[in-house]
């Protein structure tokens, strides 16, 4: 199995990275950036599908919340109703998972290839030799230069700039997709999701070779750009929270943050429901049949 993985995944990536380095001013850093961009572009259809599914799931959440309230005690019925809802809306609940599963081996291959090329111990080079194709260019290119901007790609970034960029960019991406809410429970869980991965990867970036941190940063940056073009800044910019709707009252679609608009809508509903008669807001005398009206003095 390892041999298959090395032949199908690692070998091509390693050789492509070396060739790119040679053509990009002998800069391994530029080669990492270039291959990360190319890999993201090739996987764009999958990424687009994944983001689309995620967004569709988010818009379904109010209706799913209603169903969960309604069938809280009947899990089987709940599952049935949920599936019906997905079917009506044409959404595949696993739609965001399948593209991710397809992409993961590609990311791991790119990841492992960068690792192998960053190794600077003799054992690393000896191990690297078995992946090289017979192209003359790849044999004479080794060892690759490890310098890129202020970085030694084989060592962690001691200036902390790259770890901060890694963590910060991940936070931005998470923030763009995390929906706002006033429900305390959801808010807490959302906050945990928002901060956990950026902090974790920021810490990784402090310890691992900066070539890997560069790869993470560029990957996240590309996803932010793709996300922006698909869904805008999302929840990155400040937005009022949407209340969770319970029981009676206006349907979720009518909930608006603007109270005046809510009032206008409610008035319109009430007017129509009363057959066109305006609500008596007070200030007039009730009329009695035959009652005389006093003449003014």
Partner 1 sequence: MRYGKGRLLAFIGLLLVVVVLLGGCTRTTLAGGGSAAVVDNGTLYIGSQHGELLVINAQGGRLWSVTLEQPAQSNFLGCSAAASPVAVYSTPVLDGDMVYVTGYDGRLRVYREGIEQGRYPAGETASVGGIVGGLQLAHGNIYFGTSKGEVIALDTGNLVAGTGDLVEKWQFDAGERVWSAPVVAGDTVYVTSMNGRLYALDADTGVEKWRFEDAEGAIVSSPVIYEGKVYFGSFDRYFYAVNADTGQLAWRSSLQAERWFWANPLVLDGTVYAGAMDGRVYVFNAANGESRAVVDLGAPLVSAPVLSGDSVIFATEKGDLWALDTAQYQASEFPASITGKVHASLSLSDGVIYIHTQDPDILYSVRADTGVNIWNVPLSSK
DSSP labels, 79-112: HHHHHHHHHHHT--TTTTTHHHHHHHHHHHHHHH
Q: Does 239 bind partner 1 (CB under 8 A)?
A: no
Q: Does 38 bind partner 1 (CB under 8 A)?
A: no
**If we measure between CA atoms, which residue out of 155, 176, 171, 178 comes closest to residue 217?**
171
Question: What is the total count of residues that contact partner 1 (CB under 8 A)?
Answer: 47
Q: Does 139 bind partner 1 (CB under 8 A)?
A: yes
Collapse the DSSP code of 152 into the 3-class scheme (helix H, G, I; strand E, B; otherwise coil) and give the result: strand
Q: Does 118 bind partner 1 (CB under 8 A)?
A: yes
User: Which stretch of DSSP H or E encloses residue 231?
Assistant: helix 210-231
Choose, by CB under 8 A, the member of 99, 202, 209, 234 that binds partner 1: 209
Choose, by CB under 8 A, the member of 57, 78, 172, 255 that binds partner 1: 57
- Whether the CA torsion 225, 228, 230, 236 is positive or negative: it is positive
25 touches 150 (CB < 8 A): no
Choose, by CB under 8 A, the member of 102, 196, 241, 254 that binds partner 1: 196
Choose, by CB under 8 A, the member of 82, 152, 180, 186 that binds partner 1: 186
Q: Which is nearer to partner 1, 106 or 262 (CB)?
A: 106
DSSP 72: T
51 touches 153 (CB < 8 A): no
Q: Does 90 bind partner 1 (CB under 8 A)?
A: no
Query: What are the residues binding partner 1 (CB under 8 A)?
Result: 57-58, 61, 64-65, 108, 111-112, 115-116, 118-127, 129-130, 132, 134, 136, 139-140, 142-143, 154, 156, 178-179, 186, 189-190, 192-193, 196-197, 200, 204, 206-209, 212
């Amino acid at each position: 199995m390892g041999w298959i993985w090395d032949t199908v995944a690692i070998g091509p990536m390693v050789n492509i990275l070396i060739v790119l380095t040679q053509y990009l001013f002998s800069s391994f850093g530029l080669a990492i950036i270039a291959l990360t961009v190319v890999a993201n572009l090739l996987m764009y259809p999958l990424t687009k599908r994944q983001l689309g599914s995620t967004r569709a799931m988010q818009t379904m959440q109010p209706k799913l919340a209603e169903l969960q309230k309604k069938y809280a005690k009947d899990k089987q019925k709940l599952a049935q109703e949920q599936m019906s809802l997905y079917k009506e809306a044409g959404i595949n609940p696993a739609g965001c998972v399948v593209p991710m599963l397809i992409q993961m081996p590609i990311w791991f291959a790119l990841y492992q290839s960068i690792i192998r090329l960053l190794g600077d111990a003799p054992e690393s080079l000896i191990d690297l030799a078995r992946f090289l194709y017979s192209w003359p260019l790849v044999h004479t290119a080794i060892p690759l230069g490890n310098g890129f901007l202020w970085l030694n790609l084989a060592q962690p970034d001691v200036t902390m700039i790259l770890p901060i960029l890694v963590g910060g960019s991940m936070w931005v991406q998470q923030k763009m997709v995390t929906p706002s809410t006033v429900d305390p429970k959801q808010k807490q869980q959302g906050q945990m999701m928002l901060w956990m991965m950026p902090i974790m990867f920021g810490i990784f970036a402090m310890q691992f070779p900066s070539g890997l941190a560069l790869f993470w940063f560029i990957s996240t940056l590309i996803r932010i750009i793709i996300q922006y073009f698909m869904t805008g800044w999302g929840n990155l910019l400040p937005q009022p929270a949407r209340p969770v709707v319970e029981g009676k009252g206006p349907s979720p679609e009518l909930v608006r943050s603007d109270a005046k608009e809510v009032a206008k809508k409610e008035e319109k509903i009430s007017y129509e429901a009363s057959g066109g008669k305006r609500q008596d807001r007070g200030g007039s005398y009730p009329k009695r049949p035959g009652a005389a009206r006093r003449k003014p003095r």
